Every structure is written in C-alpha cells, then in structure tokens.
Structure 1
Amino acid sequence: MEAGELSQQKGKKSRINVEIYGQQYSVVGDESTSHIRMVAAIVDDKMRELNAKNPSLDTSRLAVLTAVNVIHDYIKLKEEHEKLKESMTKKGME
C-alpha cells in the first residue's frame, strides 16, 4: 500500500498535497481532491483541538491520541448506524 492511500478501490487515483498540523503530506486516494482536503482538514482540526487540551504532548503522541479519538468516534457512529438499521428493519416487518 502506498503511503497516504485512502482506499483500495480500483479507479482513478487522486494525488494531492495537504497540510496537517504544519506538515506537508502527499495523499493518494480514489476519492475526489475536495474529499481528501476535507479529510485532511478534519485531522488537522482534531489534532489542534487535542493539542489545546494536552499542550505537553509531542507530535507523535498527539497523532496517536488523535487516531484513538477518531476511531472512537467512528465506532460510536457505526454502532448508532447499526441500531438505526435494526430499528428500521423491525418497523418494516410490522
């Protein structure tokens, strides 16, 4: 897998340079450049938010804390989505 690749889907790849927490990254993905920019902006915002609460963290620890927080949010949303799907399925069976 190429560094920075967002997806394994086949199709046209987008390559874009983005800035996250003051560092430049070349990101390759199947999504549009606007989508990749949005993802980078969200990561940057989250890192800055967590840095404000934990100013003593070095960049590596801040990146790991950001990943943990983002995955936590992802899991919560996934669980909520599953509950909504189950609820809709049950209502459809009545």
Structure 2
Amino acid sequence: MAKTHATIVINDMEYSVVSDNSPEQLNRIAFTLNEKLRALGSESSDHKSRELLVLTALNVVDDYLRAYDSLKEMQIRLQTLTTALGGAELENQRSGAEYENLVAYQEAAEKEMSILREKNHELELENARLTEEIESLQQENAFLTTENEELRHELAHDDITFEEQS
C-alpha cells in the first residue's frame, strides 16, 4: 500500500505524518485523540500539556486493550459457534442419510405390501373357488349318499324278494 503524507492537528498543534492509512483514517484518528484530550482537559484544567498527553495516551491504550479483549472474546465465541455449527451440519447430514434410508425402507415396505395384497387377493379368489368346489362336492356327496342308501335299501329289498323267490 502506498504511504500517505498528511498534516493533522492534535491539541491545536500541526503534525506532518507518513502512514499506510488513508487521509480520512488519519483525520478520524486525530479527531478521536482530540476528543480524548478535550475530555481530560475539561476534567482538570491545571494539567500541563505533557501530562494531558500521557493521560490521554493511557485512556487510548485502555480503550484499545478493552476493544482487543472484546475482540478476542468474540473470536472465541465465533470459534465455539463455528464448531457447534459444524456439529449441527454433521448431525443434519446424518439425519438426512437416516431419512433417505427410512424413505428407501418405506418404499421397499410399500412395494412388499403391494405384492402381499396382490397375493392375498389371489388367495381369496382361490379360497372362494375352493369353497364353491367343496360345496359342490358336498352336494354331490349328499346326493351320492342318498342314492347309495336308496340302492342299499333296494338291494336289501331285492335280497328279501330274492330270498323269498328261491
């Protein structure tokens, strides 16, 4: 980055500075420093200029260190949140994989259920056909049983008649 040559005014004194900062940033720094000087100067007007600069420097360093500590805390918090987010994303991926497995299982179960319903329907039709066949055979059996008894009765009657004729 190019060096900036600028003149800034601090505590009513001009300073020529060379910096990597832009002129706007240098003016912002000078403004903030002048505000600190005014605040300390208004608290006690008997301070000499050098003492005022030292107190201002102490305040600026205090502000800097507080901001630095706050930044470090935020970085730690950011790292914690980033780690938690990574864990949540991993859990989300696992849940997604489990969901896909469950969907595949459900699809397979539905396919198997469809096959079983079709098989059940076929068995119900076969059962109905066999029930009709059983009823038909029972009717035929009843008819044959009746016919058999009639023939036995006739035969028994014929035996009696046959015995009488002999």
Q: TM-score range by the shorter chain?
A: 0.7 to 0.9
- Equivalent positions of 1:1-94 (< 5 A) are 11-94=1-84
Identity among equivalent positions (%) equals 25
Number of aligned positions between the proteins: 84
Equivalent-residue separation in structure 2 for 1:77 and 1:13 (angstroms)? 26
Aligned-residue CA RMSD (Å): 0.9
TM-score (norm: length of structure 1): 0.84
Runs of 4+ deviating beyond 4 Å: none
Equivalent-residue separation in structure 1 for 2:4 and 2:28 (angstroms)? 14
**TM superposition shift of 1:88:** 1.3
**TM superposition shift of 1:14:** 0.8
TM-score (norm: length of structure 2): 0.49
Higher gyration radius (CA): 2
Q: Which has the higher strand share?
A: 1
Unaligned 5+ residue runs, structure 2? 85-166
The answer to which structure, 1 or 2, has the higher relative contact order (CA under 8 A, 6+ apart) is 1
SS class of match (1:56): coil
Corresponding position of 1:6: none
